[in-house]
Amino acid sequence: MSIPDNGAAKRRLPIGIQTFQEVRGEGYYYVDKTAHIQRMTDGGKHYFLSRPRRFGKSLLLDTIKELFEGSEELFRGLAIHDQWDWGRPHPVLRLDFGGGDFEQPGWLSEDLTLQLEAIERSAGIAVGSGSAPARFRRLIAELRERSGRRVAVLVDEYDKPILDALGTPEVARANRSFLRGLYSVIKSCDAHIEFTLLTGVSKFAKVSIFSGLNNLTDITLDPAYSAICGYTERDLDEVFAPELPGLDRGEVRRWYNGYSWLGAEKVYNPFDILLLFRQRKFKAHWFETGSPKFLIDTLLRRGVPTPDLEGMTGSEALLSAFDVDEMSVEALLFQTGYLTIVGEEDRGGRIRYRLGYPNQEVRQSLNERLLVALLPDAARRRADDAPLRELLAANDFAGLEAFLRSLFAGVPHQWHAKNDIANYEGYYASVVYSCFAAHGFDLIPEDSSSAGRADMVVRFNGGVYVFEFKSVGKESSGRALAQIKEKGYANKYRRLGRPVHLIGVEFSREDRNIAAFEVARAA
């Protein structure tokens, strides 16, 4: 449910506001998520939710906090108001690991100690001592005893102490062990707990961090909760109607919509939408707030060609296979929000999810960062300044070949050795693909047909450009263009009545540049 504005005047944009009381009490837009909260409280007790950063997890937890504490006035007009027993407030114990430098040994223990002390003082409980799990257990029991009602336990960014330390695995393992002991208290204190929700970016394997808390209900991929964070199309139409005039809705969808956790509707990242409404510019609002350096380093270290990112698949178990010592590329990309679920297949009772970029923002921005990693400075500057759109708009294939040759001529010998993604063909194809993606082209990597898969298809300016890449010796073979023709990669586009151009590109392993660049027009 959303709160209609009925064409009313604009309200304040809640950019960076994570406090429910402030949002509701000071005239900010608010998208009502309380129906989802009621579904949780009616249907279970201990929950876990994973969502990428900047998706509203902290505001969701603060909303739940105010609900259990009985702040009725804040909920008037919302879906849950008439369904909640406001005469029975509950104590709330909320931990937040959103701040701090958890890469430093011992910081986690110190940070948690300060949090527990603050909660103890606020509740009028004598400051305790002993281990963190012991104090956590005692605090839950004391809050229950003093109030006579069970406690709501909320943990924000439960995984950040581990994620921050992935670059120093020994610290990450120590933090993981520490948190495992802490979270196991929740199960042992079940009789004193009314409700639990842990949120974070990643979903660590239960055996690694939740082995002592095996009664959690994971709603990450539950269709009923797919829109518990994020904005739907209906939210934009009803809640943010005053902000929409002057914006191309098609561009809004193309740039920012597309995140899916298997619900009927895809959702927008709230941060993107709020920044768009404020700045009125289509740009990488969400992407620019974080650094995917660890992700980029992982992709290059494991030799993942960049065109392959849009064709990945995985089971639910694989997408959850995230831990300090073992993390799949698919899980890393999905959990951090750089890929999302674009489809699912039932293979004899075994579900496989197809992954892809959620939207233009992520595809374009991530490939810009990949180019930084794939190319040295001189070649990267050429890629940044490339007039690719002008060249394709004019079908200037000689100019396109000259640009690609100049691009690879700027890559020194030692750079190839350092960035050999699987093989030379993989490296060259990655550079070309990421260059086109970074310039905002509509791309289909590994485009399937009945006879095989074209390496890359570009749809632009009413035309279609079918690319095939080959790695050869010093001399060209002519096989790249011949394969496009023999396999009929262009057939499905020719039937659409669009001009279709076939482009075979061969890279010389010896000269480390283009050995052949052949172009033909589909008959």
Q: Of the residues 170, 199, 225, which one is the last residue of a structural domain?
A: 225
Dmax over CA atoms of the chain, in Å, equals 84
What does the alpha-carbon distance between residue 179 and residue 133 come to, in Å, rounded to a whole number?
A: 9
Torsion of CA 101, 102, 108, 112, to 10 degrees: 50
DSSP 28: B
DSSP 98: S
Distance of CA 196 to the CA centre of its chain: 24
Torsion of CA 143, 146, 150, 156, to 10 degrees: -20
User: How many CA atoms are closer than 13 Å to the CA of 113, on its beta-carbon side?
Assistant: 9
Range(s) of the domain holding residue 179: 32-225
What does the alpha-carbon distance between residue 247 and residue 230 come to, in Å, rounded to a whole number?
A: 19
Give the count of beta carbons closer than 10 Å to the beta carbon of residue 421. 21
456 and 338 part of one domain: no
pLDDT tens over the chain, length 523 residues: 333 444 468 999 999 999 999 999 999 999 999 999 999 999 999 999 999 999 999 999 999 999 999 999 999 999 999 999 999 999 999 999 998 889 999 999 999 999 999 999 999 998 878 889 999 999 999 999 999 999 999 999 999 999 999 989 999 999 999 999 999 999 999 999 999 999 999 988 666 788 778 789 999 999 999 999 999 999 999 999 999 999 999 999 999 999 999 988 999 999 999 999 999 999 999 999 998 999 999 998 888 999 999 989 998 888 877 788 888 899 999 999 999 999 998 888 888 999 999 999 999 999 999 999 999 887 888 888 889 999 999 999 999 999 999 988 888 766 655 655 656 678 889 999 999 999 999 999 999 877 789 999 999 999 999 999 998 887 778 899 999 999 999 988 988 888 999 999 999 888 888 999 999 998 7
Distance of CA 242 to the CA centre of its chain: 28
64 and 207 part of one domain: yes
319 and 413 part of one domain: no
Helices (H), 293-347: 293-301, 316-319, 329-335
| 354, containing H or E segment | strand 350-356
What does the alpha-carbon distance between residue 473 and residue 452 come to, in Å, rounded to a whole number?
A: 24
Domain with 172 in it: what CATH number?
Answer: 3.40.50
348 and 385 part of one domain: no
Tell whether 102 is covered by a domain: yes
Tell whether 512 is covered by a domain: yes
77 and 181 part of one domain: yes
Task: Please count the structural domains in the chain.
Answer: 3
